[in-house]
Amino acid sequence: MNLLLKRAITLLELLIAITLVSIIAIGFYSIHLFSHFQVLSSDRRAQVQNEASYILEHMSKNIARAIGNEVVYGANTIIDTNDPTGEGETTRIKVYIDGNNDGIRQEPVNNPYGNQDYWIAYRYFNNIHQVQFCSRCKNKQCGRNQCATGWEPVSLKMDAVSGLRVTKPGGDILNASYIEVTVTTCFDPDGQPYACGTPENPQIDMTTQINLPNVSIR
């Protein structure tokens, strides 16, 4: 009788021990999953933030070299966002810059050299989620085959951009010598399997004001 009782107590203790070990194991596993998710989500947020910062810094550096006076030379002679080429891009911005850094605007010419004033351009393709840059256009249109230096991706991750917007104050730059640029980046812009803006697929909007010191508004 005592032997059976001892065996029953031992079995009960074993069941309790197994239950406690299982609870502890599940707890540690849950902590591991939570920590892993938080680290992964933070890393992805950092990546999309770095991507947006890099693109805006690139655009600010080059667009700030814009030169001219749209009162004198006409609308869209300094910054033009209303001249699509029909080559599939969602957004296009072309900027006439002080190529030789002499502070004097020169008249546009076809196939300009690097020591002349010329057009540069940025374009955004929604289908490949990429911003591309032409550092010297052959002419104002600056189409696919009209970039003297070749179109180059402006990206750290190559395919993380889900939106690009350029805003001129009052619809033009006659009232202020600056523009605003907003870039939207998403870790996986295709949204598969998680939509942009979810913890698994973070998204960020970042806006900057680009001053145009060589642009006259009078």
pLDDT tens digits, one per residue of 25-82: 787 667 666 665 666 778 889 999 999 999 999 999 999 999 998 888 888 899 998 7
pLDDT at residue 118 above 70? yes
Q: Domain count for the chain, please give it.
A: 1
In DSSP terms, 93 is beta-bridged to: 122
User: What is the span of the domain harbouring residue 96?
Assistant: 49-215
Residue 114 inside a domain? The answer is yes
194: left (phi over 0), alpha (psi -120 to 50) or beta: beta
pLDDT band at 173 (very low <50, low <70, confident <90, very high): low
Taking a C-beta distance cutoff of 8 angstroms, is the pair 84, 92 a contact? Answer: yes
Residue 157 inside a domain? The answer is yes
Residue 55 inside a domain? The answer is yes
Query: Which distant-in-sequence residues (6+ apart) come within 8 Å of 174 by Cβ?
Result: 70, 71, 217
Q: Whole-prediction pTM value?
A: 0.80
Q: For residues 91-96, give the mean pLDDT.
A: 92
Q: In whole angstroms, give the CA distance from residue 92 to residue 85.
A: 9
Positive/negative CA dihedral, 96, 98, 100, 106: positive
Residue 3 inside a domain? The answer is no
Q: State pLDDT tens for residues 142-171.
A: 988 999 999 999 988 768 899 998 887 655
Residue 25 inside a domain? The answer is no
> What residue type is 19 in one-letter code?
T
Looking at residue 36, what is its pLDDT?
57
Residue 126 inside a domain? The answer is yes
Looking at residue 35, what is its pLDDT?
61
Q: What percent of the chain has pLDDT over 90?
A: 44
Q: Which pair of structure tokens corresponds to residue 142?
A: 């600056």
Q: For residue 209, what is the enclosing H or E element?
A: strand 203-211
Looking at residue 146, what is its pLDDT?
93
Residue 145 inside a domain? The answer is yes
Residue 23 inside a domain? The answer is no
The bridge status of strand 214-215 relative to strand 67-68 is parallel
Q: For residues 103-124, give the mean pLDDT.
A: 92
